[in-house]
């Protein structure tokens, strides 16, 4: 680990000013991923700007949207009465992530910015295009059991590790970013990127911007939603496959379906075709199976992760069944 300068700030404006002053600086809040990356030599910022005292911890209903500050901890969001009542899908997804100790310090913004857990990315002796552009991808023909089956490129097949982000995509969230020219808002589904030819870029945050909050519109999914995470052990494990499912039901008719997957792509993977197929249909096992089949178009395994080609559709069907029964 290299020496670095530690700075502390109490406002978003001063945090941005410090960031813009030195391109090789990074924000730190919970630090649950960043410190690992620094210890392993994957990243080496010269300055760490501690933003824990910037007032961005709000969780509140404003009009028809729930606003969650970037520095609200994962535990605070998961346990908040408003989130449990209105957005239980988000609460369950957060509870499925990491351990209680980590959730107590990890923040919403940090969760969004966490990096892949691909083993080659963390091993600086190994080739990895994400860590060092042009060095190759060790996982393509190597250990790739945890890796992507959708939206892959010949440069990188890593997955985004977050559970929270999968739920936020399914819930039509937006992200508010603050930069030198003020705030801009983007859809959560457009925040993270596919690897393409630039696997070093995980998301569309500009170098001189910071995440300030997430906004989630109220919906009618609370009665019929479920976050199903399939993993190697019951806690503190990343998803092999996860599904965030929300159904708006009238009798047994689906008025709208909200579906996203985790553990399968470089970004949370929205199942748009399945959502369109299910809209207006009966909530039956047959329709759920057809939705799962549609979701698997263009899926591709890389050897060790071929099992996901079966696990993923089965998880979609099960998540939809559990969401239907939830009420
Ligand atoms: Fe690196 Fe991506 Fe290949 Fe993993 S999958 S070794 S992160 S380039």
Distance in Å, CA 114 to ligand 1 centroid: 15
- Which residue reads 């990491």 in tokens? 98
Q: Residue 221 has which token pair?
A: 């999914």
Distance in Å, CA 166 to ligand 1 centroid: 21
Q: How far apart are CA 134 and CA 124, in angstroms?
A: 14
- Whether residue 241 contacts residue 269, with contact meaning beta carbons closer than 8 Å, is answered with no
225-325 maps to which CATH number? 3.30.390.50
Distance in Å, CA 205 to ligand 1 centroid: 20
Full-model pTM: 0.98
Neighbours of 33 (CB within 10 A): 18
Q: How far, in whole angstroms, is CA 159 from its chain's centroid?
A: 10
Return the DSSP state at 6: E
- Whether residue 74 contacts residue 112, with contact meaning beta carbons closer than 8 Å, is answered with no
Instruction: Judge if 5-48 and 225-325 fold alike in CATH terms.
Output: no
- Whether residue 68 contacts residue 214, with contact meaning beta carbons closer than 8 Å, is answered with yes
Measured from CB, residues less than 6 Å from any atom of ligand 1 are 116, 118, 120-121, 128-130, 137-139, 156-158, 199
Name the helix (H) or strand (E) containing 20: helix 12-21
Distance in Å, CA 148 to ligand 1 centroid: 10
Domain ranges of the chain: 5-48, 225-325
Distance in Å, CA 175 to ligand 1 centroid: 26
From first to last of its 327 residues, the chain has per-residue pLDDT tens of 689 999 999 999 999 999 999 889 999 999 999 999 999 999 999 999 999 999 999 999 999 999 999 999 999 999 999 999 999 999 999 999 999 999 999 999 999 999 999 999 999 999 999 999 999 999 999 999 999 999 999 999 999 999 999 999 999 999 999 999 999 999 999 999 999 999 999 999 999 999 999 999 999 999 999 999 999 998 899 999 999 999 999 999 999 999 999 999 999 999 999 999 999 999 999 999 999 999 999 999 999 999 999 999 999 999 999 999 976
Neighbours of 285 (CB within 10 A): 11
Which atom of ligand 1 is nearest to 137's Cα? Answer: 3
Which atom of ligand 1 is nearest to 144's Cα? Answer: 5
Q: How far apart are CA 45 and CA 4, in angstroms?
A: 7
Closest CA to 20 of 191, 130, 181, 212: 181
Q: Residue 226 has which token pair?
A: 């479920």
Closest CA to 183 of 194, 196, 172, 174: 174
Distance in Å, CA 39 to ligand 1 centroid: 19
Atom 1 of ligand 1: nearest residue by CA position: 128
Q: What SS3 state is found at 48?
A: strand
The residue length of the chain stands at 327
CATH topology of domain 5-48: 3.30.43
What's the angle, vertex CA 188, arms to CA 157 and CA 145, rounded to 5? Answer: 20
Q: How far apart are CA 194 and CA 298, in angstroms?
A: 15
Distance in Å, CA 125 to ligand 1 centroid: 13
- Whether residue 8 contacts residue 25, with contact meaning beta carbons closer than 8 Å, is answered with no
Atom 2 of ligand 1: nearest residue by CA position: 156
Burial of 29: CB neighbours in 10 Å, binned 0-12, 13-18, 19+: buried
Query: How much is the pLDDT for 2?
Result: 80
Which atom of ligand 1 is nearest to 136's Cα? Answer: 8
Which atom of ligand 1 is nearest to 157's Cα? Answer: 5
Q: Residue 165 has which token pair?
A: 């982000």
Cα four-point dihedral sign 58, 165, 113, 192: negative
Largest CA-CA distance found in the chain, in angstroms, rounded: 62
217 DSSP β-pair partners: 65
Closest CA to 73 of 109, 105, 40: 105
Q: How far apart are CA 187 and CA 183, in angstroms?
A: 14
Closest CA to 102 of 27, 26, 31: 31
Residue in 43, 116, 133 to alter for ligand 1 test, most ligand atoms within 8 A of Cβ:
116
- Which residue reads 């965030």 in tokens? 244
Which atom of ligand 1 is nearest to 127's Cα? Answer: 6
């Amino acid at each position: 680990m290299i020496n670095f300068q530690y700075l502390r700030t109490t406002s978003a404006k001063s945090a941005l000013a410090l960031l813009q002053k030195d391109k090789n600086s990074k924000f730190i809040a919970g630090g649950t991923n960043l410190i690992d990356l620094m210890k392993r030599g994957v990243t080496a910022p010269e300055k760490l700007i501690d933003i824990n005292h910037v007032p961005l911890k709000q969780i509140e209903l404003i009009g028809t949207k729930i606003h969650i500050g970037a520095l609200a901890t994962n535990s605070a969001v998961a346990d908040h009465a408003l989130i449990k009542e209105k957005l239980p899908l988000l609460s369950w997804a957060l509870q499925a992530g990491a351990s209680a100790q980590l959730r107590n310090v990890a923040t919403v913004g940090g969760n969004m910015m966490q990096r892949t857990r691909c083993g080659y990315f963390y091993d600086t002796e190994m080739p990895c295009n994400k860590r060092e552009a042009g060095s190759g991808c060790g996982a393509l023909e190597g250990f790739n059991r945890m890796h992507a089956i959708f939206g892959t490129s010949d440069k990188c097949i890593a997955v985004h590790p977050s559970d929270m982000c999968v739920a936020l995509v399914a819930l039509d969230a937006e992200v508010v970013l603050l930069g030198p020219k003020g705030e801009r808002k983007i859809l959560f589904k457009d925040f993270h990127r596919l690897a393409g030819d630039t696997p070093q870029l995980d998301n569309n945050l500009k170098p001189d911007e910071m995440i300030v909050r997430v906004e989630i519109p109220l919906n009618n999914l609370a009665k019929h939603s479920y976050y199903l995470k399939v993993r190697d052990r019951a806690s503190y494990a990343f998803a092999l496959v996860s599904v965030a499912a929300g159904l708006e039901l009238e009798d047994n008719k689906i008025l709208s379906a909200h579906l996203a997957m985790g553990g399968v792509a470089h970004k949370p993977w929205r199942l748009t075709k399945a959502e369109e197929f299910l809209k207006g249909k009966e909530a039956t096992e047959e329709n759920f199976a057809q939705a799962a089949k549609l979701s698997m178009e263009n899926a591709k395994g890389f050897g060790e992760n071929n099992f996901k080609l079966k696990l993923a559709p089965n998880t979609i069907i099960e998540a939809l069944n559990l969401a239907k029964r939830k009420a």
